[in-house]
Amino acid sequence: MTGSTGMFAELTAAIVENNRAKGWHDNPPTFPECIAMLHSEVSEALEAWRVHGLADATDPAGEPNLICKPEGVGSEFADVLIRLLDDCYLFGVDLEAEVRRKIAYNATREFRHGGKRI
């Protein structure tokens, strides 16, 4: 994915640069570990929703004079995307191509995929 110019390229480059600088690429996680960490971020989004609904739960008073740690569903969704883009980089998945391919396929599917409720 090096040199990619797609819709995720700028985000991926910034994420990979930060993760390298913070040592997360020194001993990269295995594929199963990456899946587990993605799952944990999705679970954290559910927990944030259970506690705060969809509201931003960042508490600026919690860390005066510092950059506050973002909290809430939006922040957890951001963590999901950050992990996913880094995982795609690590495992050579062209996420933009896969998203476009899936959107094209989904356009051919039946209404509600043949009657599914959710």
In a domain, 107, yes or no: yes
In a domain, 6, yes or no: no
Report the alpha-carbon angle 2-90-74, nearest 5: 100
pTM: 0.86
pLDDT in tens, 73-82: 999 999 999 9
Report the alpha-carbon distance of residue 45 to residue 75 in Å, rounded. Answer: 8
pLDDT of residue 63: 62
Which CA distances in Å does 62 have to 44, 56, 57, 59, 111?
Answer: 20, 14, 11, 5, 47
In a domain, 4, yes or no: no
The mean per-residue pLDDT over the stretch 69-88 comes to 97
Q: 30-34 long-range CB contacts below 8 Å, 24 or more apart?
A: 31/91, 34/83, 34/87, 34/90, 34/91
In a domain, 8, yes or no: no
In a domain, 91, yes or no: yes
In the chain, the number of structural domains is 1
Report the alpha-carbon distance of residue 24 to residue 67 in Å, rounded. Answer: 22
In a domain, 59, yes or no: yes
In a domain, 99, yes or no: yes
In a domain, 3, yes or no: no
Residue 4, pLDDT > 70, answer: no
Q: What range defines the domain where residue 94 resides?
A: 30-111
What are the φ/ψ torsions at residue 101 (nearest 5 degrees)?
A: -65, -40
